[in-house]
Amino acid sequence: MDIILTPAEIGGIISIPSSKSHTIRALLIATFAEGESTIINPLISQDTYSCIEACKSLGALIERSNENSLRVIGVRIPDRITTIDCGNSGTTMYLAAAMASASSQKTTFTGDHQLIRRPVAALLDSLEALGVTVESQLGHYPPFSVQGPIKGGATSIECQTSQYLSALLLALPMAQGNSVITVPLLNERPYVEMTLHWLAKQHIQLEYDTKLSLIKVKGNQSYKPFEATIGGDYSSASFFFCAAAITGSPLTIQGLDPEDPQGDKEILTILHKMGCMIEWKDTSVTITGPARGSLAGGTFDLNTMPDALPILAVTACFAQGTTVLYNVPQARIKETDRITVMCNNLNKLGAVIEELPDGLIIHGQGYLTGGICDGYEDHRVIMAMAIASLGCSESVTIRGTDAVEVTFPTFFTLLDTIKHK
């Protein structure tokens, strides 16, 4: 579906959907916990549906216990041969694949046309080193299969994506023996800290250094049933944070935990440096941008928050001066090459922008004109371009917007509610 959006003033109060990353971790841990767990306020989107179906394929019983909760009866160790289609969900594929290797039965993983371009070689090599039987016709990409039981031992893994390390951390407590992981490269550290947060709540025994470069995991542990409430998603909220920054308007976003380990929380620090006022009150935060066109440019390391690249690239176009977004090469291996895609799209709207190998340089002019751009079947690109339309001088047409269903099905509804008619 194509959509035409016009410039608008905004304001008001909105609530943000729950965290995708927390929801998927909760579902998988509940699946591998023998007994009944309750997940309150989970995100319901295409990605989490993919995870729910993956968990069911592994043997879990999942049903709604009420309008706002999921009841999960886990199986601890799956005992069936199965094929899992992860759709567009890379998080589900990486994490579930490693955890499925606790089973002695073969599990095959595949996905949609974007997911099968996501690299898996580093994770599969580590799983093999830990005693898992791996089969992959394409070597570096899905589809592939894993068959355990995972034995444990020692492995070294370069984590171009944090999901490799999170996958091993979730799987290795179920290994037959103890394990040591050496991590010479780690991108997106906060997502690993989120995984460690869940493991701590499960009282999983492990040791690690401050750089997360050496991690020791005790084997022969198990997950326990739990009840947990999923908080708001900072990745989703970032689009509305930046809407306030671009338009110079106050906007209040509810339902966010200021202590949550989500890495995209750091976008508030960046917006403050660009000239925004940030005010917290309990679980609500109000962002007020400066006058339109007067945000300040800056240089920002996005390694810990790669999903923020599209919306921060948009925001930088409405700043004065040069903004450099760097140290985020992993943005090239998401649903799209987001560095190239955002450069192409923003050029179409009148930006002065150029690519770096690991980011973007945006020469902010304080405005964009408008025009026609592409969604590229990438939910974060679509949402970023929709927010760009608020500050443009003319309308913006986005070709293909269906992919917002992946993580934020209510995005356009919420966007409409904050526009002043």
Enzyme catalytic residues: 307
| CA distance linking residue 250 with residue 86, whole number of Å | 39
Q: Which two tokens stand for residue 193?
A: 């800290």
Determine contact, residues 241/314, Cβ cutoff 8 Å. Answer: no
Indicate the pairing of strand 284-288 with strand 277-281.
antiparallel
| CA distance linking residue 279 with residue 361, whole number of Å | 29
| CA distance linking residue 33 with residue 72, whole number of Å | 9
Q: Which two tokens stand for residue 251?
A: 């906007």
The residue to which tokens 């002695």 are assigned: 104
The residue to which tokens 């999960």 are assigned: 72
Beta bridge partners of 36: 73
Indicate the pairing of strand 319-326 with strand 299-301.
parallel
User: C-alpha angle 44/401/113, rounded to 5°?
Assistant: 80
First-last CA distance in the chain: 24
Indicate the pairing of strand 359-365 with strand 353-356.
antiparallel
| CA distance linking residue 202 with residue 73, whole number of Å | 16
Question: Could you tell me which of 237, 218, 138, 121 has the C-alpha nearest to residue 172?
Answer: 218
- Position 207, amino acid: E
| CA distance linking residue 52 with residue 399, whole number of Å | 30
| CA distance linking residue 202 with residue 227, whole number of Å | 11
